[in-house]
Structure 1
Amino acid sequence: MDLFYGQSHAVRGASIAISQGEVVAIMGQSGSGKSSLLYCLAGVLPVAGGEVRFEGLPLGALDDDTLSALRRDRFGFVFQHGELLPELTVEENAALPLRLAGQRKATALAAAGEVLGRLGLADLRERRPSQVSGGQNQRVAVARALVHRPTVVFADEPTGSLDSANAATVLEEFLALARAQGTAVVLVTHDHKVAACADSRYTMSDGVLAREQDVA
């Protein structure tokens, strides 16, 4: 697949296949194109060449409503800074994908509470994001990404804003829960310690993707 920003070639002929339940790390320096590739795979950015398929379905052939529903129901997202909604409680933030899918509030909150409990946040459900730590906020973001048991989670530097101790804990809990659910994870990172937790590793440089064993 290829992606351009104006005349700039952000992704060059990338090819990648992700299996059910697989954890894939895409490494690279800032500006290497790894985040652009992530958002192409998630159907957020349309590719200029090639195609992205999900369970055999070409994302580029879907209309906006169908693509939005796919991202809402089958995909999860974790961002570097969590991106929680400050006006909602921890529990309400975690339940958001279920509420957007039309699930009743009580049912959605119960499911969110279960996932939060597995991430050690059961006692913080009624607090706002501003009332918990950065590491706890990122756990809430993980809960939100996994609460609807998506097929795949796209994670863009999910521990990049945390200190090393919190980063290790959040990553361990995130991947353990994803693997328990059979959810695939596409993890963009510049951190070799984070990438080492993946089943498959790729490196990206100047928009070119290479599998780890192909990298000199």
Structure 2
Amino acid sequence: MDAILRAEGVDLFYGTQKAVNGADFSLRRGEVTAIMGSSGSGKSSLLYCLAGVLAPTNGSVSFDGVAFSKLSDDDLSTLRRERFGFVFQYGELLPELTVEENAALPLRLAGQRKGPAHAAAGEVLGRLGMTELLQRRTSQLSGGQSQRVAVARALVHRPDVVFADEPTGALDSVNASAVLEEFLRLARDQGTAVVIVTHDATVAGHADSRYTMTDGILK
């Protein structure tokens, strides 16, 4: 099957420091891929290049056969909003919004009306065991609960790819395992491809394929 996401010869410099060195990467539809590496290895920098958040210094990244460099800023923003999802280590939720409102945010930003957007968010949150907490402020949640909301927000609009940067790094082992399993089950159920950046071999063990990054070099 052809790759939905592909990077070829990607370099990324921060000033004179080379964070990513000639990375080649491919991801198929529905595939879960882990990028492993220690802190400072460049794996998060590569993830942000793959997601179109950072533009590589050299090389190219393409989605569905179209290079990011060929897209306008507005088109690239629309691509990230409508076809990508993101899960971060600490959730990055909006504390002034409820659980339901946070999870529905991608749909609301895409112009969907409140009723259908909240119904879709409620369905995903229900599959993550959060039905009783829909109206709670996210500032009142535990770490594991917050990360479930972040997972729901990443998947609610049924994206083609989810980018997860150390998605369980802030959780204890019990919560980490539960959230990760639910995240990947939901992603696989809807055919979403997932790129997970992690330093944890246990997390990487859930992936279909694995890369290792050392000093900016991806293998």
Using the size of structure 1 for normalisation, the TM-score is 0.97
Question: Which residue is 1:122 aligned to?
Answer: 131
Write the distance in 2 (CA, Å) between the matches of 1:132 and 1:10: 35
Q: Which amino acid aligns with 1:40?
A: C
Question: Which residue is 1:213 aligned to?
Answer: none
Residue in structure 2 matching 1:109, options 118, 135, 141: 118
Aligned Cα root-mean-square deviation (Å): 0.4
Map 1:70-109; keep pairs closer than 5 Å.
70-109=79-118
Map 1:1-216; keep pairs closer than 5 Å.
1-210=10-219
Partner of 1:17, secondary structure, is strand
Partner of 1:52, secondary structure, is strand
How many residue pairs match? The answer is: 210
Write the distance in 2 (CA, Å) between the matches of 1:132 and 1:75: 25
Contiguous gaps of at least 5 residues in structure 1:
211-216
Write the distance in 2 (CA, Å) between the matches of 1:165 and 1:183: 25
Partner of 1:203, secondary structure, is strand
Q: Which amino acid aligns with 1:169?
A: A
CA deviation after TM superposition for structure 1 residue 136, in Å: 0.4
Q: Percent same amino acid among aligned pairs? A: 73
Write the distance in 2 (CA, Å) between the matches of 1:100 and 1:130: 22
Partner of 1:185, secondary structure, is strand
Write the distance in 2 (CA, Å) between the matches of 1:65 and 1:125: 32
Contiguous gaps of at least 5 residues in structure 2:
1-9
Write the distance in 2 (CA, Å) between the matches of 1:44 and 1:60: 12
Structure with greater strand percent: 2
Using the size of structure 2 for normalisation, the TM-score is 0.95
Write the distance in 2 (CA, Å) between the matches of 1:61 and 1:206: 29
CA deviation after TM superposition for structure 1 residue 48, in Å: 1.1
Write the distance in 1 (CA, Å) between the matches of 2:86 and 2:188: 16
